[in-house]
Amino acid sequence: MSQAPEPRKTLEPDQVAFWLARHPDFFVGREGLLQQLQVPHPHIDGAVSLLERLVLDLRKRAETAEGRLEHLLETARHNESQYRRLRETLIALVEAPDRDALAQALATQLSERFETPAMALWCPSALSDSEPTPPQAPRHVLDQHASARLSALLDGRTSRCVKLSVSDWKCLLPHVKAPRKAGSCAISRLSAGDPLGYLLLASPSPDAYRASMDTLFTEYLGDIVARLLVRLGDHGG
């Protein structure tokens, strides 16, 4: 009685791939086999030669790499532009001869270089005691009502981006015409050892300063302004 033939063994695709990876010279001398291999076309029905498929894959990789490179270049150009604008802003702030000039320079730089529609600098009355005249907008004396509203908007944080209601706009930006609807703002608490008030950047657009936005720029600017306020006070500014 004859034995039944053994079932034909087949290789799994992963086994073939593993074997070929360990024998990269398999196709040496078998170039004709490469030309006979047919693989699915990545975009249309039908098959193409292995070499054609490799060309398509290489072209796709090149396009992807080119897109990544362009993204990196665009990011680098943006960062360079940000650095130049911030540098010019800081130079203008350092050159301010007194606190009102500091606030005016900050408002001008933010408007012209960063398209910030409105800003306010709120400082406690102690900073104004030695000044012959009251602060000039956009600098304001921090009274109890403004302090309470700014503190509530910050909600215990050092800086924050939040919605700004029309009533809060009128209270915190009294020198700027209030929009008809709620806007948004970025707030940073000023401190250089002692509390020095608040820096407020605002926009009539409710999406200009979203809660998910990073506040690193506002914090950095606030740190610089706080130290300049102290320096100008020490110099009698």
131 pLDDT higher than 80: no
Cβ–Cβ < 8 Å for 106, 119: yes
Arithmetic mean of pLDDT, 48-75? 81
What type of residue is 124? P
Place of tokens 């300063």: 209
51-70 as b/e: b if 16+ CB within 10 A: eebeeeeeeeeeeeeeeeee
Q: Which long-range contacts (CB under 8 A, 24 or more apart) does 56-59 make?
A: none
Q: Please indicate whether residue 128 or residue 172 has the higher confidence score (pLDDT).
A: 172
Residue in 108, 104, 109, 102 with CA at minimum distance from that of residue 88: 109
Is the model's pLDDT at 10 over the cut of 90?
no
Mean pLDDT of 126-139: 75
Closest by CA to 120, choosing from 136, 132, 96, 134, is 136
Over the stretch 151-191, which tens digit does the pLDDT of each residue have? 999 999 999 999 999 999 999 999 999 999 999 999 999 99
Give per-residue pLDDT as tens, 21-59. Answer: 887 777 666 666 766 666 665 666 665 566 676 777 788
pLDDT tens-digit profile of 186-222?
A: 999 999 888 899 999 999 999 999 999 999 999 999 9
At residue 4, the pLDDT reads: 56
pLDDT of 94 reads 96
Q: What is the pLDDT of residues 93-125, one digit of tens each?
A: 999 999 999 999 999 999 999 999 999 999 987
Q: What is the mean pLDDT of residues 133-156?
A: 93
